[in-house]
């Protein structure tokens, strides 16, 4: 089953994450596509940027993460100490993968 992965980059004190995105966007996108990504999306947020990528297998994700271009991009984030999150799933406020259950109607006793 395909899984989403997110790379979330936060702005630093002196450099915005949008600058990081523009510097590495083409390399990350090309690396993802050429290593089996089914889909990808970039999102600008109030605090940074998120690169979401969908791979069919964990092995494809691991191969993507091991690429020199990807490692260089991750090493180049504006805040190397606190400005990078990498995790399984959609980024930011993507919400739960399961829809919420509907609430009962008022007065439905």
Q: Which residue has the higher pLDDT, 97 or 54?
A: 54
Rounded to whole angstroms, the Cα distance separating 90 from 61 reads 14
Does residue 31 sit within a domain? yes
Give the whole-number percent of the chain exceeding pLDDT 90: 72
| Residue 96 placed within a domain | no
Backbone angles phi, psi at 70, to 5 degrees: -70, -45
pLDDT score of 1 = 78
Among residues of the chain, what percentage have pLDDT more than 70?
A: 83
5 closest CA partner among 74, 73, 56, 75: 56
What's the number of domains the chain is made of?
A: 1
Q: Residue 106 falls within a domain, yes or no?
A: no
Question: 18 lies in a domain?
Answer: yes
Helix axes 68-75, 17-34, angle to 10 degrees: 170
In contact, 88 and 53? CB cutoff 8 Å: no
Distance CA 54, CA 73 (A): 18
Does 97 reside within a domain?
A: no
* Structural domain includes residue 108: no
| Domain contains 107 | no
Indicate the helix (H) or strand (E) that contains 65: helix 58-66
> CATH code at 31?
3.30.70.100
> pLDDT tens digit string along 34-78?
999 999 999 999 999 999 999 999 999 999 999 999 999 999 999
CB atoms within 10 A of CB 5: 23
Mean pLDDT of 88-108: 60
Domain assignment present for 24? yes
Domain range for 7: 3-88
Most confident of 80-84, 91-95, 102-106: 80-84
Residue 48, φ and ψ in degrees, nearest 5: 170, -145
């Amino acid at each position: 089953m395909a899984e989403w992965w997110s790379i979330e980059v936060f702005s630093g004190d002196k450099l915005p994450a949008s600058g990081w995105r523009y510097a590495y966007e083409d390399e990350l996108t090309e690396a993802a596509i050429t290593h089996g990504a089914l889909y990808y999306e970039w999102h600008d947020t109030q605090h940074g940027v998120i690169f979401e990528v969908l791979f069919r297998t964990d092995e494809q994700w691991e191969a993507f993460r091991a690429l020199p271009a990807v490692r260089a991009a991750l090493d180049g984030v504006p805040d190397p100490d606190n400005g990078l999150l990498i995790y399984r799933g959609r980024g930011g406020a993507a919400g739960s993968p399961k829809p919420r259950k509907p609430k009962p109607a008022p007065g439905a006793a």
